[in-house]
Amino acid sequence: MFNALIVNKDDEGKVSAEIQELGETQLPSDGDVTVAVEYSTVNYKDGLCLTGNGGLVRNYPHIPGIDFVGTVETSEDNRYKAGDKVVLTGWRVGEVWWGGYSQKAKVKADWLVPLPNGITPKQAMAVGTAGFTSMLSVMALEDHGLKVGDGPVLVTGAAGGVGSVATAILAKLGHEVAGVTGRPETADYLKSLGATQIVAREEINETTKRPLETETWAGCVDAVGGAMLARVLGQMKYGASVAAVGLAGGAGLPATVIPFLLRGVNLLGIDSVMRPYDDRLRAWERIAKDLPMDKLEEMVVDATLSDLPSLGGDILAGKVKGRVVVDVNA
The pLDDT value recorded for residue 206 is 76
Clarify whether residues 156 and 92 are in a common domain: no
Task: Indicate the number of domains in the chain.
Answer: 2
**Hey, CA dihedral for 73, 77, 81, 86, is it positive or negative?**
negative
The pLDDT value recorded for residue 54 is 87
Clarify whether residues 199 and 237 are in a common domain: yes
- Whether residue 75 lies inside any domain: the answer is yes
* C-alpha to C-alpha distance for 158 and 177, rounded to whole angstroms: 10
Clarify whether residues 226 and 262 are in a common domain: yes
Instruction: Specify the amino acid at residue 315.
Output: I
Clarify whether residues 60 and 142 are in a common domain: no
Q: Are strands 197-200 and 177-181 parallel, antiparallel or unpaired?
A: parallel
CATH of the domain at 301: 3.90.180.10
User: Which pTM was predicted?
Assistant: 0.91
Strand-pairing partners, residue 39, are 69, 327
Clarify whether residues 265 and 134 are in a common domain: yes
- Whether residue 286 lies inside any domain: the answer is no
- Whether residue 279 lies inside any domain: the answer is no
Clarify whether residues 65 and 194 are in a common domain: no
- Whether residue 282 lies inside any domain: the answer is no
Clarify whether residues 247 and 309 are in a common domain: no
CA angle (178, 182, 185) in 5-degree steps? 90
309, HSE (Cβ side, Cα atoms, 13 Å): 11
Clarify whether residues 105 and 147 are in a common domain: no
Clarify whether residues 58 and 6 are in a common domain: yes
* C-alpha to C-alpha distance for 323 and 330, rounded to whole angstroms: 18
| Other Cβ atoms closer than 10 A to 12 | 5
- Whether residue 63 lies inside any domain: the answer is yes
Burial degree of 44 (CB within 10 A; 0-12, 13-18, 19+): buried
CATH of the domain at 221: 3.40.50.720
- Whether residue 124 lies inside any domain: the answer is no
146, HSE (Cβ side, Cα atoms, 13 Å): 31
- Domain with 218, as residue range(s), is 129-269
Clarify whether residues 62 and 134 are in a common domain: no
Mean pLDDT by 10 residues, the chain (330 residues): 96 93 95 97 94 92 97 97 98 96 98 95 95 97 98 96 94 98 93 96 84 97 95 97 93 95 98 95 95 91 96 91 94
Q: 94: alpha, beta or left, given left = phi > 0 and alpha = psi -120 to 50?
A: left
The pLDDT value recorded for residue 62 is 97
The pLDDT value recorded for residue 312 is 94
Cα torsion at 73, 77, 79, 80 (round to 10°)?
0
